[in-house]
Structure 1
Amino acid sequence: MYTPPFNRADDETELRDFAAAVRVGWLATSRAGAPPAATLLPFVWTGDTVVAHFARANPHWREIDDDTPALLIVTGPDAYVSPSWYPAKAEHGKVVPTWNYSAVHLTGTARVHDDPEWLRAAVTELTDHHEGRRAEPWHVSDAPDSYVEGQLRGIVGVEITVTGVEGKAKLSQNRSDADRTGVVEGLRADGRPGDLGVAEAMAASLARE
């Protein structure tokens, strides 16, 4: 991950919170002699382990041997930044467009799991994680056991042992506070979902400084 010093995010607790809030990421792997493959997967990251699963019909999992190098890319909101939002434009005009975003990259090794007990435990963990914030969460045990067993036959688990974590928050930290405030106001005025997410992240970053 290319990360200028002013965009680097190093606090692992914050990176874990970010990944837990996004809850889904692109798993990319590459095996010698095969083209790179990538799949968007819901996941749970606990300790140094990420748990997820593929649809069995997805050929990606067949490209994963034990300890295959893997990259999980977790991205948050992103947005185009217009130079017209910078007060500096009126001062000297030396401004250009950019794109703001936040991301976490987890690197490590992947292996697949096809054991029914492992799969049931993984699906239960994923479900509890994603349903946990709901007032009346759904549980795997709510469905008939025979139905769950049939669904488990349609998936293959994947486990990633995380060996490296990198975080980046590109939120115009290289601009003046006035320019950054102008971007926040511009993004809020445009009002697109990604724009609003970036605006809130930028506002929080400004408030912490």
Structure 2
Amino acid sequence: MYIPPHFAEIRPQILHDLIDQHPLGILITHGAGGLDANHIPFHLLRDQGTLGSLTCHVARSNPVWQQLATGDEVLVVFRAAEAYVSPNWYPSKHETHRQVPTWNYAVVHAHGRVTLRDDERFLRHNLAFLTKRHEAAQPVPWKMGDAPRDYLDAMLKAIVGLEIQITRLEGKFKLSQNKEARDIHSAGEALCDQGDSALGAAMIAVAAGKAQEAG
């Protein structure tokens, strides 16, 4: 991924936070059938290894796991907020007209090596983590014990687990850091006004930090 220095985010905690908050990743593999991309919810284990690990499961009928071997390199892409940015939102544009449109976003690329996990203990553990995390906000959280045992056993036999040891994390947080603080702030406010509040708030924070640095 092309990352100009001013857009680079290298702090593991910040990159892990993005993965946690946006767990639907794109698993990119290169097997015998060529390049493949699958959209999968992941569970991040921050403390496993130097950079953490990712776990997930796929349908047994999905050929991706059959085209992989333990130890293969894979890439998982996680994306947070994104939005178009109009040059009209920059005060400097109205003074010099020397601005162009752009697109801002925050993404993390997690490179790693995969291990195929077809054991029931791993699958149950992974499903329990995912369920507990994503059911937590429900008025009456669903749990695996709510399903009949024979039904759940059949569902477990229909999936295969993947465990990815992260070997490299790349973060690109493109928040107009290459602009003046006033331009970043103004564009961030415009994004908030149109409903892109997460990205807008991040840009406003960047503008505040840049203004503080300028003294």
Per the normalisation by structure 1, the TM-score is: 0.91
Distance 2:61 2:201 in 1: 39
**Unaligned stretches of 5+ in structure 2?**
211-215
Match of 2:175 among 171, 190, 208: 171
Contact 1:44/1:129, CA 8 A, preserved across alignment: no
Residue 130 of structure 1 aligns with an amino acid whose one-letter code is H
Aligned-partner SS, 2:178: coil
Report the counterpart of residue 100 of structure 1 in structure 2. Answer: 104
- Is 1:156 matched with 2:160? yes
Cα deviation, residue 63, structure 1: 1.4
Structure 1 residue 44 and structure 2 residue 43: aligned? Answer: yes
Instruction: Describe how 1:51-200 pairs up with structure 2 within 5 A.
Output: 51-134=55-138, 136-191=140-195, 195-200=196-201
SS of residue matched to 1:19: helix
> What do the CA deviations read for 1:8-58 (whole angstroms, capped 9, x no partner)?
112211211111011211011112x42111111111111322100112222
Alignment partners' CA distance in 1, 2:179 and 2:60 = 47
Secondary structure of the structure 1 residue equivalent to 2:201: helix
CA-to-partner distance for each residue in 1:61-93, whole Å, 9 max, x for gaps?
A: 221111111001010010011111111111111
Q: CA deviation at 1:190?
A: 2.7
Query: Quick one: percent identity of the two aligned structures?
Result: 37
Distance, in Å, in 2 between the alignment partners of 1:207 and 1:136 is 41
- What TM-score results when the alignment is normalised by the length of structure 2? 0.89
Answer whether contact 2:184 2:206 (CA < 8 A) is retained.
Answer: no
Instruction: Show the counterpart of 1:204.
Output: 205
**Matches of 1:208 and 1:175, distance apart in 2:** 13
Counterpart residue number, 1:6: 6
Structure 2 counterpart SS, 1:36:
strand
Deviation at 1:106, TM superposition (A): 0.7
- Provide Cα deviations, 1:84-114, integer angstroms capped at 9, x if missing partner: 1111111111111110000111101112222
Distance in 2 separating the partners of 1:36 and 1:78: 25
**Equivalent pair of 1:111/1:160 in contact (CA under 8 Å):** yes
Q: How large is the RMSD of aligned CA atoms in angstroms?
A: 1.6
Residue 134 (structure 1) shift: 4.4
Letter in 2 for 1:202: M
